[in-house]
Amino acid sequence: MGGQVIELQIYQLAAAYIFVLLLMVIVRIKGIHREKEIVIASIRMTLQLILTGYILVYLFENPHPALVILAIAVMLVFAVSNIIKRVKTPLSPKIKKVIALSMASGTLVSIIYFILVVINLSPWYEPRYFIPIAGMIIGNSMTGISLGVSRLVDGMNTQKNLVEAALMLGATPKAASKHIANNAFDSAIIPTINSMVGMGIVFLPGLMTGQILSGVSPVTAIEYQIAIMLGIVGSVSLTVIIFVELGYKTFFNHEHQLEL
């Protein structure tokens, strides 16, 4: 078959939804009331991907820096919105601003470095490379920040007495919340580290699989996968450290008193 790509027909794609039905049967048997969420998630995933496919076709056929920048801005807005929605505990306006700042600064620095230095893309706004790479970096950073926010907020609430006791003994807000911030950072980067450990042996990543299916040499696909995985590691680390270093401050007032 060489480098030919197998085109999926509508009936073949529809056949894949049997796995969704299988999941619904399992949760029904187990008495787990998730059927509605599964249906909504499946429909939403399908519609979003179809819409994204047509948008990407347009961008690939009409490459322009303004369109690429707009696409990245939209991705960041949705990422920040999803992070805020994932956290069950109400968030203050200050910490929401920190989330947005962390996502924007951490991911953009990582994307720009990766595009200009690692793969030396020319022109830099080539959508076929820029958008998929940015999507992977933003998506993984969103997951990391979500975990970091949840752990930081939960820690500050559940360990309120310990933090206040440390403040009473003369500790600075940074010292009093250091353990909580460190736990938040650790929780945020663990999924990325686990992905690196199992990659290539336990599973083949999406980028590598897609390139191989499209006919690219496995060696070339591996090179790209290694590069993008390292870029993801850098982006997640940068975004999360910015968040925890700024995020803990939102729980204290100007008099260094804890405010939840």
Please report where in the chains the tokens 């399908």 appear, as a residue.
Answer: 46
Question: According to the model, what pLDDT value does residue 86 have?
Answer: 86
What's the one-letter identity of residue 94? K
pLDDT computed for residue 204 by the predictor: 66
Tally of CA atoms within 13 A in the half-sphere of 83 that contains its CB: 36
Q: How far apart are CA 181 and CA 57, in angstroms?
A: 42
Within the chain, which residues score under 70 in pLDDT?
Answer: 1-4, 202-205, 207, 260
Q: What is the pLDDT of residue 3?
A: 55
Residue 89 has a pLDDT of: 82
- What would the pLDDT profile of 208-228 be if each residue is shown by its tens digit? 777 777 777 888 888 888 898
Measured CA angle at 43 (ends 40, 46), to 5 deg: 145
* Residue 91 CB partners (closer than 8 Å, separation 6+): 84, 99, 149, 153
Question: What angle do helix axes 218-247 and 206-213 make, rounded to 10 degrees?
Answer: 150
What tokens were used for 239? 């975004």
Amino acid letter for position 175: A
Domain ranges of the chain: 1-62, 65-251
> What's the confidence (pLDDT) of residue 235?
95
- From residue 116, how far is each of 59, 121, 246 by CA, in Å? 20, 6, 28
pLDDT at res. 59:
92
What pLDDT score does 4 carry?
A: 67
What pLDDT, on the 0 to 100 scale, is given for residue 1? 44
pLDDT at residue 240, rounded to an integer: 95
